[in-house]
Structure formats: structure tokens, C-alpha cells
Chain A
Amino acid sequence: MTEGTLRAAAPPAVHPREGDSQWAIAARRFRRDRLALGGLALVVILSALAIFAPLAAPYDPIAQHDIVATSLQPPSPAHALGTDLFGRDVLSRIIYGARISLTIGFLAVIISVTLGTLLGAVAGYFGGWADTLVMRFTDTVLAFPRLILLILIVALFHPSVLLIILVLGFTQWPGTARIVRGEVLSLREREFIQAARALGFGRARIILRHIVPNVLGPVIVAATLGIGNTIVLEAGLSFLGLGVQPPMPSWGSMVADGRGNLIGAWWVATFPGLTIVLTVLAFNLVGDGLRDALDPRLRQ
């Protein structure tokens, strides 16, 4: 869409209907994207499994009975994905692990996106020293190797799900902040922001009601991709024993548990690993689909 030109004659490509918001148009575009729909289906299934884990899981993920008899059984009708060293059903542990992984992913991203959006909007809207301050802080956070920072913090305190959420949330925002700042820099010069000022709107109202909704598209894309990223990081931490603590099931620690016996009992590490891959892939597919659906430049 080129601004400043008269577009009265150009026929709209996606035929607008009455009361048609940009969201409705994006939803229609998203619905035509098969890969993204596939990703979304996977995300929905995973979320449903996580929410209804007690109903969906065939066995208790933590309880151990008669270890000698049940230890390291290969996939069978009784245990679809086999059992681990302690005789626990791998499928049940993966389903309960989804609870932990998705909770951490969603909550950490909510923190990082909120923080990143506000900081980016403030930096972009006010410019000057506020911009310098926020962006140099962002650069500083980005300059730290994140995994090492995470390991340091988790090692200093007792690792818990809450701590992991907070640490992941408070280290992930710089990407969002940069995206939002860039968008706001160009939005700030748009005439509707000028018009809002001329109507006597305050700065908080302009930022929260007029600027932020206009950057929501890229923010949602960043958030979706961020969930995948966070899940990988959490799995990494758990793999190192610094994340979710046993006996609570976590995909990362399950891979770690199985890695010593990859040849004798391949299913213990392989299925949680595959789950991580599939989950991240699903979120990335949805993110890419949203990016295409929300990008106004593609609206031809």
C-alpha cells in the first residue's frame, strides 16, 4: 500500500465486508494457509492433552510399581511408547510434560512480550534519551550469552517452575522490543497519531490505545515464534538438570534420562525428543502463517 496516492480506483483484493476489521481479514487469509492450519491443529491437540492430562494419560506419570518387571519395556499395546528405567509409561510422562512445557512457554512469552512491547513503544514514541536508554539496555541484555546467564541464575537459586518462567520471560523481551520500536518509529509519524494529539489525547492513551494495537500483528508473530524458542530453552535447561526437577516429568529431563541407554532402550529418549521437535515446528508454522496473514504488504 503506497501512502499518499489516491487509491479510490483500486479494487480491494480481499473483498471487505461490512464491519470488517483487519483481524477478520487476517483470519480469512490464515484459513487458506494449509501448513499453518496443520501447525495450529497440532498446537490445539497438544494444549488439549496438557489441559486434560489426567484423562488423556493412560498411567500415572510419577508412581513406580514393581520396577524390575516394568523397567525399560519397548513399545507395546500396554505401553504405546514403552517405559523408562523406573517402569513409568513414556506416553503418560510426555503428556504430563506437555503441561509443564506449554505453561512455561506461554507464561514466559506473556512476560517477555508485555515487557518488550511497552519498552519498545516507549523508546520509539518518545525517542531521544528514553530511546537511547532503553535500546542500550536492550543491547546489554542481548550481549549476554543467554543460556549461560540462565544457567548462572538457576544455579544460584533453587530451580523451580516459577523461577524458570521468570528467568526465561525476563531474558526474551529484547527481540520484541526491537521489533516494536521499529514499528512505532514509523507509526509515530502517521497522521492519525498527529490527529490524536490534535484531539487532546494524552500520551498514555496514544501509546496504549492507538500505537500498541497497530503493532500487535508483528508482536503476535514474535510471541508465537517465541513460545517455540522458550520450549527449546526449557528443555535444554531440564536436560542439564537445571530446569524442572524430578520426579516432575519434563521433555528435556526425559531425553537426558534416556541418553545413557540409547541403543538398548531407544524409545526413552527418542519420543520426548520428537515431541520437542514437533511442538516447536507447530508453533513456528503457526507463527509463519500469522506473519503472512497479518502483513499488510502482502494484502494484494
Chain B
Amino acid sequence: MSGDARPRAPAPDADGPAGTDVLPARVSAPLLSVRDLRTYFHTDAGVARAVDGISFDLRRGEILGIVGESGCGKSVTSLSILGLVPDPPGRIMPGSSVRLRGRELVGLPVRELRAVRGADIAMIFQEPMTSLNPVYPVGDQVAEPLRLHLGLSRRAARTRAVELLELVGIAAPERRVSEYPHQLSGGMRQRVMIAMALACEPDILIADEPTTALDVTIQAQILELIAGLRERLGMAVLLITHDLGIVAETCDQVLVMYAGRAVESGPVESIFRMPGHPYTEGLLGAVPRLGEDADRLAVIPGQVPSAYAWPPGCRFAARCPYAWERCAQEPPLLPGLSVPLSGAGVAEQGTAARCWLVEEPERRAGAGFSSGAEAAR
């Protein structure tokens, strides 16, 4: 599969064989298969290992959420899939693999990669205020990928643009096509962005914090729209967010990222019911819940370590209430079932956590995250 013939990067860290990370298998063959993705930034200050060995599968019709706090590598992961990381300084390291229906995208010539972008995998961004070109009417912008990738005529592309605007729930689309971005609200602009992304009926939609800049009611509408389109068009969605509420509502699978790596993955319900990794536990504890009486929310003390110098053992050890000597020395692996990377074979709906607690669960007793109030005391 991925790394048997090609030269592997001389591992610059002593973290052990990240390439052996294998996720729990799900039944059907994956649409998108990411294996040991490493994206490093070579700067004057050194090498920032922003994404450091991420693996996951995305299946048809599935919504996979990638969560984590700022700077954990979520966005770089999504940009790496489409080869959009600015190079220099960013580089997808040898040994990384991103396969779309079995076709390797890493190392593909730019020309071929462009044919994938927009047509097979489309992406929407965080900031709807600036993601539309201010000098063109929105209809032209929705029509442009249609003309480029599908070779539609000007008139056909415009007709289709109207249909697409209607599909994403824009009222009076015949009128809106000729309006300019500054005449639309933030929520409407994000809908236009989605229409642009959907124009060529991609198999995969990558949504990088699609609702962060929108207010809560619009947020819900946009997420509903994405989830609804997934059902109607059967596309897969990779939803990048830092909001666990969004994950709980929208996603089927979740991948929790910390310090450039996946620390936990699995079906949303299982992970929300029983978080396996202390980081996930901390994130869940930091979300206020309706009907639960808490003066203060639990906090995860400290900060994400620097991507220029990840700690040698578990990257979360310094902030982990359960950590013991082993955590500081030995990097835990993300345990999985040793199935072939295609994922066929085992139909286990399990979760996996990159933590030594999996091996020594008895150490969980008696420790845990404290609330902000206790921490302050």
C-alpha cells in the first residue's frame, strides 16, 4: 500500500513508527484515504511539524468531523489533501499518502491536481465576508467552475447557477445571480460559497470551520444545509471545527486532533458517551451542558506545546491529570486493528485513543480535570 516501495522520510523525531497507526475499520471501501500525512513547515526558526502523521478514512455519504483547538493542525490537514499548502515554507513529507478512490494525490503534478480540485473535492472556508470576489456578480462566480471543469456554455452555466443557488436555499435566485457579494448577508454569502463548491458535484466537500464567522441561528441553518445536501447528493463531508456541539449535531465519525496528530477517533456517539483520551475528556468537560448545574466549567490547564519541538513522550502529558512517568517517555500509539489499510475486513464500530490509559485503565481512578474554580484556588 502506501509506503512499501517509496522512500520514507528519515524520521526526525523519536516518536516511533507513526506509520503503523491504523484506525478501526468500517465496512465499505473508503472514498478518501489519508495515511501518515505529515506536513512540515521549514522556516528560519526551524521545522514546524504542523501535521505529524494523520491517518483517516472518509466514506461515501459520511460526515467526518476533525476537532481540536487552534494550532493543532486541522486546517493544514485539509489544505494538504488538496495540495494547497503554500510551498515554501510548507511541505508534504515523503511517505504521506492521500488517496482518492485509490488514486494517490500526493506528488501529483499541479495540472492534474487542479482537475481534482473543485471537481472531485471542493472546499469552503471560514470567512464568508472575504471568500467571494467583490468585483463579480455571485452568479458569475458560481458559473465559473462549471465552465472550467464541465465546459458548459455561458448560458447553460448561468441556468445551472440559478439552480444551484436555489439548491442552497437562496430565495429569488434569478434576481440574486446578478447581485454582488457586498449586497448579500454573511449567511447568504456562505450559501453562495457552498453553491460554488457544489457546482461540479464533488464527491467530497471539505468545510473548514464553515460557521465560525456566522451568528448562531445562521450557523444552524448552514449546518442543516450541509447535512441535507449530504443526504440528497450522497457526498462525503470533512468538517473541520473546534466546536464539539457542531460535531455532536452533524457528524457521524469524529477525529480528535492534538499537536499535529490524531489522539482519538471513532463514531460520534461512542466518543461522546465514553471518551477514551484525556484530551477528548477535557474538551467535553469544557462544554456547558443544559440542565447540569456547574458554576465553573472544567478547564484543560496549560497550552499546546510548540510545533517546533513536540515533547518526546505523549504530547498531551504536560496537561494531562492522569499522566505518569511512562507518558513523558514513551509516545503512545493510536491502537487499531491490524487490518489492511483499505479498511476492508473488520466491521468493528470501535473507537481508538492514543493513550497509555488504554493499557492501564486502573490509573484513571481518583484523578481528573478540575473546574476553573478549583484550579484557581
Residues of A within 8 A of B (CB): 3-4, 6-8, 12, 16, 18-22, 128, 190-192, 194-202, 205, 209-210, 213-214, 216
Contacts and interface: CB of A to CB of B under 8 A. Distances in A.
B180 A3 contact: no
A152 to B, nearest CB: 41
A9 B127 CA distance: 17
A191 B130 contact: yes
B215 interface: yes
B182 A4 contact: no
Contact of A22 (B82, B125, B135, B214): B135
Interface centre among A6, A8, A199, by most chain B C-beta atoms within 10 angstroms, is: A199
Interface stretch (B16-24, B40-48, B112-120, B302-310): B112-120
Interface residues of B, number: 43
19 contacts: A4-B127, A4-B213, A6-B186, A8-B215, A16-B180, A18-B175, A18-B178, A18-B179, A19-B179, A19-B180, A21-B137, A22-B134, A194-B131, A195-B193, A197-B117, A198-B122, A201-B118, A213-B133, A213-B135
Nearest to A198: B123
Given A19-B137, A197-B84, A198-B122, A191 B131 contact: yes
Contacts, number: 103
Interface centre among A21, A191, A197, A198, by most chain B C-beta atoms within 10 angstroms, is: A198
A75 B122 CA distance: 73
Given A6-B213, A200-B118, A200-B148, A19 B178 contact: yes
Contacts of B193: 195
A199 B129 contact: no
A255 to B, nearest CB: 43
Given A22-B134, A200-B119, A194 B125 contact: yes
A192 B118 contact: no
Contact of A3 (B124, B129, B137, B144): B129
B175 A195 contact: no
A191 B125 contact: yes
Contacts of A21: 135, 137, 180
Interface string B175-187: 1001110110110
Nearest to B196: A199
B117 A200 contact: yes
Nearest to A24: B180
B179 A7 contact: no
Nearest to B215: A6
B230 to A, nearest CB: 19
Interface string B283-325: 0000000000000000000000000000000000000000000
Contacts of A195: 123-125, 131-132, 193, 196
